[in-house]
């Protein structure tokens, strides 16, 4: 017996061999170039919640690395226009973006490294499927941050990163939740 199911550009084929145990074979239905630009696009990250899919990356087309996000509300069939995709506009180098989502909320963190070499974890969030974003927030405020990660669950946002502000690299954690209204370390 063979069962074929297609879910938003991903096909799943279940094969039932002689021992009657299902084996899943997953196949992707092609690719889409989301960056289509003249510069380099690096460090992609993806998150999905229901039919909402978010892809973020660092892009040097403007002359320095900026953070770009493309959003889909139909399971990845179509994505937001490139003109609405830029989350940042700064002379600093913006590196290693990460994205997380929960429901219609999407959150992005990245490392911002200024010309003096200081680096911090920056955050920006949207509560309407990426149609608009709040202000950029510096979470670490240390000048020695690296390797940020983000996760979201319900109305809570969790961010971790390594930070050398104490003289050696330590792991820091911050949470922003429905009740706190701001990140707390």
Q: Is the pLDDT of residue 125 over 90?
A: yes
pLDDT tens-place string over residues 48-97: 999 999 999 999 887 888 999 999 999 999 988 765 688 888 888 888 99
Write 26-33 long-range contacts (CB < 8 A, 24+).
32/76, 32/79
Q: Is the pLDDT of residue 180 over 70?
A: no
- Domains in the chain: boundaries: 1-31, 33-176
Q: Is the pLDDT of residue 19 over 70?
A: no
Name the pLDDT band for 7 (thresholds 50, 70, 90). Answer: very low
Q: What is the CB-side half-sphere exposure of residue 97 using CA atoms within 13 A?
A: 31
Q: Is the pLDDT of residue 20 over 70?
A: no
Residues of the chain above pLDDT 70, percent = 79
pTM of the model: 0.81
Backbone angles phi, psi at 126, to 5 degrees: -130, 140
Of the ranges 13-22, 30-39, 86-95, which one carries the lowest mean pLDDT score? 13-22
Q: Are 109 and 137 in contact (CB under 8 A)?
A: no
More confident residue, 5 or 56: 56
pLDDT mean across residues, the chain: 83
Q: Are 162 and 170 in contact (CB under 8 A)?
A: yes
Name the pLDDT band for 6 (thresholds 50, 70, 90). Answer: very low
CATH class for domain 33-176?
mainly beta
């Amino acid at each position: 017996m063979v069962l074929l199911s297609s879910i938003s550009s991903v096909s799943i084929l279940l094969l039932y061999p002689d021992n009657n145990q299902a084996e899943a074979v997953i196949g992707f239905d092609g690719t889409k170039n989301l960056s289509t630009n003249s510069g380099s696009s690096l460090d992609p990250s993806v998150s999905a919640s229901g039919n909402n899919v978010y892809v973020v990356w660092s892009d040097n087309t403007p002359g320095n690395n900026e953070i770009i996000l493309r959003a889909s509300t139909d399971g990845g069939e179509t994505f937001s226009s490139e003109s609405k995709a830029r989350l940042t506009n700064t002379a600093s180098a913006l590196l290693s973006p990460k994205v997380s989502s929960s429901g219609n909320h999407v959150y992005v963190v990245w490392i911002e490294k200024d010309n003096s070499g200081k680096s911090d974890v920056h955050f920006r969030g949207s509560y309407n499927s990426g149609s608009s974003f709040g202000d950029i927030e510096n979470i670490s405020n240390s000048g020695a941050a690296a390797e940020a990660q983000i996760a979201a669950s319900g109305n809570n946002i969790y961010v971790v990163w390594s930070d050398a502000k104490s003289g050696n690299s330590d792991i820091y954690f911050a949470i922003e939740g429905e009740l706190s209204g701001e990140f707390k370390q």
